[in-house]
């Protein structure tokens, strides 16, 4: 009768006799996961640790693990595992009942929820960008229009960087080399003047949370070079280089062949909004910022820790 009842349960359930991990009985739900009578439960179902069985027999108390994970053809799955001792009249553990209930933290569910949240965030960013565009079109003040356009451009950079990190889903680090090339390609089409941006990027991994600040740093440095390095109406080349040095530090360089920085301008103290943004995000990433300038051009370097 007990076996008939257990076989109708949707929760994978098994009975273990003796001092081993050998299964005496597994219901249909557990059998579908590869746990069969006469076989090792911990081998057939790796999420269950043998130590849980040992502790349940030793203490005679329920053992539980709410975050046990294993891998299957469908991806990573997470389980709420319970090992319940069956005690005899003298308090001796006669058998163990193992149940494994899948939690909503399984990889497929987690990824689906993550995609939903990411999609809503992307829509929100696009809505903010659209509102800024409408406000730009409705204002007649050139300074206000320029400020709104700059804000809209920055929102666009954040949206693009968010899209790059979203595709990584649960990854902790992402390679930003391809992202840098795509970013500079878009900047080349939108920045004032027919400037050409040349990109040399080595494969470089960064923490996911660093991608958006890194993208905004690139946007500001490239934008500054396009607007200020060359005489009005004269196109020039801007070089963007990303690499790692021998110590493992990440180095971003933005260089131009323009007229050089104005006399007395220090990028680490400049009060312009763009350089303030750069300094803020370089500081957030615990990096260093400096510039080398001459009448033959300017090279701004950002160094990020290994």
Whether pLDDT at 73 is above 60:
no
Confidence class of residue 221 from pLDDT cuts 50, 70 and 90? very high
260 conformational bin, left if phi > 0, alpha if psi -120 to 50, beta if neither: left
- Pinpoint the alpha helices (H) of the chain: 2-7, 28-31, 41-44, 50-59, 107-138, 142-167, 177-190, 211-228, 273-284
Record the pTM.
Answer: 0.60
DSSP conformational letter for 46: T
Confidence class of residue 242 from pLDDT cuts 50, 70 and 90? very high
Residues linked to residue 151 through DSSP beta bridges, in sequence order: none
Q: What is the mean pLDDT of residues 16-24?
A: 88
- Establish how many alpha carbons lie within 13 A of residue 1's alpha carbon, considering only the half-sphere containing its beta carbon: 0
28-37, 63-72, 180-189, 196-205: segment of lowest average pLDDT: 63-72
**Stated length of the chain:** 306
CA nearest to 240, candidates 295, 184, 161 = 184
Instruction: Classify residue 270 by burial, with Cβ atoms within 10 Å: 0-12, 13-18, 19+.
Output: middle
pLDDT given at position 262: 82
Sheet holding 196-201, edge to edge: 196-201, 237-244, 250-256, 297-304, 288-294
Q: What is the mean pLDDT of residues 70-96?
A: 78
Whether pLDDT at 193 is above 60:
yes
Query: What is the percent of the chain with per-residue pLDDT over 90, rounded to a whole number?
Result: 28
More confident residue, 6 or 145: 145
Whether pLDDT at 260 is above 80:
yes
* CA–CA dist 113, 32 (Å, integer): 27
Average per-residue pLDDT for the chain? 85
Whether pLDDT at 202 is above 90:
yes
CA nearest to 205, candidates 240, 261, 164, 236 = 164
Query: What is the percent of the chain with per-residue pLDDT over 70, rounded to a whole number?
Result: 90
């Amino acid at each position: 009768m007990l076996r008939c009842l257990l076989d109708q349960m949707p929760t994978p359930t098994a009975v273990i006799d003796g001092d081993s991990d050998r299964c005496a009985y597994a219901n249909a739900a557990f059998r579908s996961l590869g746990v069969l009578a006469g076989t090792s439960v911990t081998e057939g179902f790796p999420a269950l640790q043998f130590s849980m069985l040992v502790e349940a027999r030793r203490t005679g108390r329920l053992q539980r693990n709410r975050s046990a994970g294993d891998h299957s053809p469908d991806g990573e799955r997470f389980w709420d595992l319970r090992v319940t001792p069956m005690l005899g009249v003298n308090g001796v553990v006669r058998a163990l009942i193992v149940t494994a209930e899948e939690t909503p933290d399984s990889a497929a569910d987690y990824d689906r929820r993550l995609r939903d949240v990411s999609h809503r965030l992307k829509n929100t960013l696009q809505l903010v960008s659209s509102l800024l565009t409408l406000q730009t079109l409705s204002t007649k003040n050139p300074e206000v229009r320029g400020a709104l356009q700059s804000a809209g451009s920055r929102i666009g950079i954040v949206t693009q960087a968010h899209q790059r990190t979203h595709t990584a889903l649960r990854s902790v680090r992402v390679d930003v080399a391809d992202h840098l090339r795509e970013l500079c390609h878009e900047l080349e089409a939108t920045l004032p003047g027919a400037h050409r941006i040349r990109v040399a990027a080595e494969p470089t991994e960064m923490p996911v949370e660093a991608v958006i600040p890194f993208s905004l740093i690139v946007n500001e440095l490239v934008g500054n070079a396009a607007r200020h390095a060359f005489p009005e109406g004269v196109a020039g080349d801007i070089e963007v280089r990303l690499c790692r040095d021998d110590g493992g530090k990440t180095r971003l360089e933005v260089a131009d062949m323009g007229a050089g920085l104005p006399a007395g301008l220090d990028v680490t103290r400049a009060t312009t909004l763009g350089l303030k943004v750069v300094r803020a995000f370089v500081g957030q990433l615990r990096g260093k910022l400096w510039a080398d300038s001459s009448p033959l051009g300017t090279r701004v370097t950002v160094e990020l820790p290994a």
